[in-house]
Amino acid sequence: MGSSVKERLRPELSQLDQDADDLEEEEAARLPVTSPDGLLMEGDKQPSPGQGPFFYIGGTNGASIISNYCESKGWQRTQDSHCEDYKLKWCEIKCRDNYCSFREGQQLLFQLPNNKLLTTKIGLLSALREHARTLSKARMLPSTQTKVLKMEEFFPETYRLDIRDERQAFFALFDETQMWICKPTASNQGKGIFLIRSQEEAAALQAKTQSIEDDPIYRKMPFRAPQARVVQRYVQNPLLLDGKKFDVRSYMLIACAMPYMVFFGHGYARLTLSLYNPHSSDLSGHLTNQFMQKKSPLYTLLKESTVWTMEHLNRYINDKFRKTKGLPRDWVFTTFTKRMQQIMSHCFLAVKSKLECKLGYFDLIGCDFLIDENFKVWLLEMNANPALHTNCEVLKAVIPGVVIETLDLALETCQKSLHSQKMLPLLSQRRFVLLYNGETTDLWPRLASSRPLNRLPN
């Protein structure tokens, strides 16, 4: 292998030896206090100073929006991360202690403890594969006629590097006619990602992974982090907006876990600053997230152009592609939206039986979709603790509404479950769309059955 290839790959391959779990800093300016029509949880009263009810926010991601929401209810913020007498705890990074001390039905806690089943690359890949096997067996039964999504219809071909057989299968099939992208399983912001386009680059990656596996010290490690990576077939014919690559951030909200109440929420489109060049080695032209775009010296000047509302995207596709591609009018809000909802529902059902749930757990998951030039929709990944910064005008218009409705729905569904009330209609549901209603399909333990009910005021 030429020394030039080794030099070019050294920064990327070095990422195999580290975890990249840093979270994007929140850049939101403090927003005006909002007064949404939310529901107080059981026993809430307007507090005296210093007496609570308390809420705790760990980290800065969306902190000002969450804080303003809670303060509008008369709740008081505590800086004590060990405080157990809280109504709401919203933390960027999960902590075992939070779940051990959680009081079911009395508190709201952000993030399901094992959401990694969806929000890590290996977790999602494994869940989808197992679900596909289950569905394949079910389709063999005469009574099963329902059409279900096939994994290959929406998820790019992917291989795990931490499993020898899969690793060997990938290197055996690799050729230079198709580009691949290598990703750490549990990082965000594009950290640790690199492209594989030549036999030399594939050989370098193969040698690196093999040398790590052969290292006797590595063999003794309980968690083999450097190998926790996937390689995924790169979608090389992305739809472009004015020549730029983009993807769409949408949201899956698990507002309640007993019963499951799962929602879809629109987000926004994210564009690169530079024109798309499939042959470029600059990752900022391939990855659309803000962390990558900020590396450009033009970002401050042009950042408003890197985020579009869904309405803007819909108008653009109506104008540019509706006639030439024979699309239905408002394709973004009809066909595309329905497809995203189908994919999210499929992913949720793939892990539903394995999620660790208690009444009061809730989660907001960021889902990234790519549209190719044939208008086929691909799910790229799902993200825990999605970025809630509001550093441009579109995000200022979108993010607060997402966070406020998330909290409203979590409060209302928790209260209704606690009091064994009928879930629908939901007074706080505005823009989110119900994907899954466990009230009508699932059996779950009703906490209220063992104690007197205090009904909510009308």
**In which band, very low, low, confident or very high, does the pLDDT at 185 lie, cut at 50, 70 and 90?**
confident
Give the pLDDT of residue 76.
Answer: 96
Reduced to 3 states (helix: H, G, I; strand: E, B; else coil), residue 309 is strand
User: For 61, how many CA atoms within 13 A lie in the half-sphere containing its CB?
Assistant: 16
Q: Name the token pair of 334.
A: 């009809």
Count CB-CB contacts under 10 A for residue 275. Answer: 12
**In which band, very low, low, confident or very high, does the pLDDT at 192 lie, cut at 50, 70 and 90?**
confident
Question: pLDDT digit string (tens) for 78-87?
Answer: 999 999 999 9
Residues 235-259, mean pLDDT to the nearest whole number = 96
Question: pLDDT digit string (tens) for 164-176?
Answer: 899 999 999 999 8
All structural domains of the chain: 54-94 (no CATH), 117-139+146-155+238-437 (3.30.470.20), 157-234 (no CATH)
**Surface-to-core class of residue 172, CB atoms within 10 Å of its CB (0-12 exposed, 13-18 middle, 19+ buried):** exposed
User: Has residue 123 got a pLDDT over 70?
Assistant: yes
Give the pLDDT of residue 323.
Answer: 95
**Surface-to-core class of residue 412, CB atoms within 10 Å of its CB (0-12 exposed, 13-18 middle, 19+ buried):** buried
**In which band, very low, low, confident or very high, does the pLDDT at 23 lie, cut at 50, 70 and 90?**
very low
More confident residue, 227 or 282: 282
Give the pLDDT of residue 456.
Answer: 34
> Do residues 285 and 276 touch, judged by C-beta distance below 8 A?
yes
User: Has residue 136 got a pLDDT over 90?
Assistant: no
CA-atom Rg of the chain in angstroms: 23
User: Has residue 50 got a pLDDT over 80?
Assistant: no
Give the pLDDT of residue 448.
Answer: 54
Residues 225-248, mean pLDDT to the nearest whole number = 89
Question: pLDDT digit string (tens) for 269-301?
Answer: 999 988 999 888 877 778 877 767 766 777 677
Residues 446-455, mean pLDDT to the nearest whole number = 48
Give the pLDDT of residue 143.
Answer: 55
User: Has residue 46 got a pLDDT over 50?
Assistant: no
DSSP assigned state of 181: E
Compute the CA torsion angle 167, 171, 174, 178 (nearest 10 deg).
50
User: For 293, how many CA atoms within 13 A lie in the half-sphere containing its CB?
Assistant: 23
Reduced to 3 states (helix: H, G, I; strand: E, B; else coil), residue 399 is helix
Residues 181-192, mean pLDDT to the nearest whole number = 76
**In which band, very low, low, confident or very high, does the pLDDT at 42 lie, cut at 50, 70 and 90?**
very low
**Contacts of 75 by beta carbon, 8 Å cutoff, 6+ apart:** 47, 52, 53, 54, 55, 87, 88
Lowest mean pLDDT of 1-10, 144-153, 422-431, name the range: 1-10
Reduced to 3 states (helix: H, G, I; strand: E, B; else coil), residue 407 is helix
Computed over every residue of the chain, the mean pLDDT equals 84
User: Has residue 389 got a pLDDT over 80?
Assistant: yes
**In which band, very low, low, confident or very high, does the pLDDT at 39 lie, cut at 50, 70 and 90?**
very low
Give the pLDDT of residue 186.
Answer: 73
User: Has residue 228 got a pLDDT over 70?
Assistant: yes
**In which band, very low, low, confident or very high, does the pLDDT at 157 lie, cut at 50, 70 and 90?**
very high
Q: How far apart are CA 380 and CA 375, in angstroms?
A: 15
Q: Model's pTM, two decimal places?
A: 0.84
Give the pLDDT of residue 370.
Answer: 98
**Contacts of 350 by beta carbon, 8 Å cutoff, 6+ apart:** 127, 128, 130, 131
Give the pLDDT of residue 188.
Answer: 63
Give the pLDDT of residue 72.
Answer: 96
User: Has residue 226 got a pLDDT over 90?
Assistant: no
Residues 182-208, mean pLDDT to the nearest whole number = 84
